[in-house]
Copies of this chain bind each other. A is one copy, B any other.
Amino acid sequence: MTEKVVIIGGGAAGPKVAAKLRREKSDIQIDLYTQENIISYSACGLPYFIENIIQHSETLIIRTPEDFRKQGINIHLNQQCSGINTKEETVSLLDLISGNKYEVKYDILVIATGAVPIIPNIVNINLKNIFTLRTIEDGIKIKEKMLTSQKVVLLGGGYISIELMEAFVHNNLQVTLLERDKQILKMFDEDFAQRITDYIIGRNPGQVSILTDEEVIAFQGNENNEVKKVITRSGKEIETDFVVLGTGVRPNTDFILDSDIKLGIKNSIKVDKTLKTSKNGIYAVGDCTDNFNLVTNRYTWVPMGSTANKEGRCAAINIAGGECLFEGILNSTITKYFDFTISIIGISYKEAIEFGFKPEYAIVTKRDKAGYMPNSGTMTLKLIADKNTHTILGIQGIGEGDVNKRINTVIPAILSKTKLESFMNLDLPYSPPYSPAIDPVLNAAQIIYQKING
């Protein structure tokens, strides 16, 4: 009998499992169910579609249902999973078009249901033109509204809000970002969050406001129930044409809360390094799973498209009988605000203290190329290392210079717990168009090492 693999979820991870599994094994039945009317697209590209750097939403589609069908993968659109019966090995599904409910049997089940936006408890949250951004449909609605608007309010100071701010600034809107916390981009140390804020404000003075310590308590609408005003606890009233909620996401796992599949942090699904859940024959991949942080050695939940893709690939190899271990993550994130790169890897200084390390840090602001080369850009790096072990715990990098290269240079060193004394003399390739003779990231390591060694 042909083995039947059922995949629930059509974002990044689910389709990745399907495609890779088919390449690994031709004699297997693969059925993918998704509640959307589209599959396999890059949600991370939505801000650039809204900005209109990418003109058509179809550009974000990686593979169409037809592409999958050609590979012998059955795609079922508009089918929502409402529960899993692990004893009967069945999935309960709801056809969103016909309203029919039915059960599907599986031999192997892969849960890849992703994450959903958190809707904050604010008065009049149901007014029109208050959006979240998660699906292509969301992106199309926001873009349409943006094109006829002058003013927008963004709630929450995470990466999505920064990326949407670029989109809206680029399209000449007046943008206000409201953050409940005392800083935007909570994963960064406060000094770096401030530098980022200063850059964003300084780039378009008058067009952009970033207000921290501002909790939104109510929206006000017009006679058509369209949002027109945002009201904060401190009494500010901000006029707007629309609102985007960037107030976080949570694992999309409500449908298995009462199952016997073990959940972890924030109700994400607990998986081992092979991406198996606590139940035999059930895998989970992507934004709905928990993550093991290789710096802190603790479980965390960091939904990322890159992790989803790697987990999907890995799970497919394991389902096909191969061996792939997904060892964990380093909380690696990056975003762009026009030419300004914003990135953090590992843990911040404040987190290092919280987690019981004895951190030391160095901040360097340097040009990214030999100083005499034209078009060199400035960047600021904050490297954090542990005084006891001399290992690197994290790096924060911002600036118009090539931050990403420096960040990536540190990542394998964090993974392998390379000591500062080895890292600071690392043989990075040098030529004036690419870096100074001693790369800034090595300068930072040298400075910490000298601080630690007194």
Asked if A405 is an interface residue, CB under 8 A from chain B, the answer is yes
Mark the stretch among A241-249, A263-271, A322-330 that contacts chain B. Answer: A322-330
- A 299-335 binary contact with B (CB < 8 Å = 1; else 0): 0000011111110011000000011111111111111
Chain B: CB-nearest residue to A423: B412
B332 touches A42 (CB 8 A): no
B304 touches A430 (CB 8 A): yes
The verdict on A327 contacting B422 (CB below 8 Å), with A408-B409, A427-B307 known, is yes
Interface residue from B310, B426, B429 paired with A407 (Cβ < 8 Å): B429
B425 touches A310 (CB 8 A): yes
Asked if A45 is an interface residue, CB under 8 A from chain B, the answer is yes
B438 touches A313 (CB 8 A): yes
Asked if A434 is an interface residue, CB under 8 A from chain B, the answer is yes
Q: Number of copies of this chain in the oligomer?
A: 2
User: Which residues of B have CB within 8 Å of A205?
Assistant: none
A429 touches B372 (CB 8 A): no
Asked if A404 is an interface residue, CB under 8 A from chain B, the answer is yes
CA distance A442 to B345 in the complex (A): 17
Asked if A164 is an interface residue, CB under 8 A from chain B, the answer is no
User: Which residues of B have CB within 8 Å of A422?
Assistant: 327, 415-416
A427 touches B329 (CB 8 A): yes
CA distance A438 to B307 in the complex (A): 8
B372 touches A427 (CB 8 A): no
CA distance A373 to B48 in the complex (A): 8
The verdict on A438 contacting B306 (CB below 8 Å), with A343-B429, A372-B59, A407-B429 known, is yes
Interface residues of A in 395-454 (CB under 8 A from B): 402, 404-413, 415-416, 418, 421-423, 425-434, 437-439, 442, 446, 453
User: Which residues of B have CB within 8 Å of A334?
Assistant: 429-431, 434
CA distance A446 to B48 in the complex (A): 29
Asked if A94 is an interface residue, CB under 8 A from chain B, the answer is no
A332 touches B416 (CB 8 A): no
Chain B: CB-nearest residue to A397: B429
CA distance A169 to B79 in the complex (A): 60
Chain B: CB-nearest residue to A12: B437
Asked if A362 is an interface residue, CB under 8 A from chain B, the answer is no
Asked if A54 is an interface residue, CB under 8 A from chain B, the answer is yes
User: Which residues of B have CB within 8 Å of A201?
Assistant: none
Interface residue from B54, B310, B370 paired with A372 (Cβ < 8 Å): B54
Which of the listed residues A306, A324, A439 has the most CB atoms from chain B within 10 Å of its own CB? A306
Asked if A60 is an interface residue, CB under 8 A from chain B, the answer is yes
Asked if A257 is an interface residue, CB under 8 A from chain B, the answer is no
A425 touches B327 (CB 8 A): yes
15 contacts between A and B (CB under 8 A): A12-B437, A294-B427, A324-B425, A325-B421, A332-B427, A336-B431, A404-B429, A405-B408, A407-B429, A408-B409, A408-B429, A409-B411, A412-B413, A415-B418, A415-B426
Nearest first, the 9 closest Cβ-Cβ pairs linking A and B are A306-B430, A334-B429, A416-B416, A412-B412, A332-B429, A412-B413, A330-B427, A309-B437, A408-B409
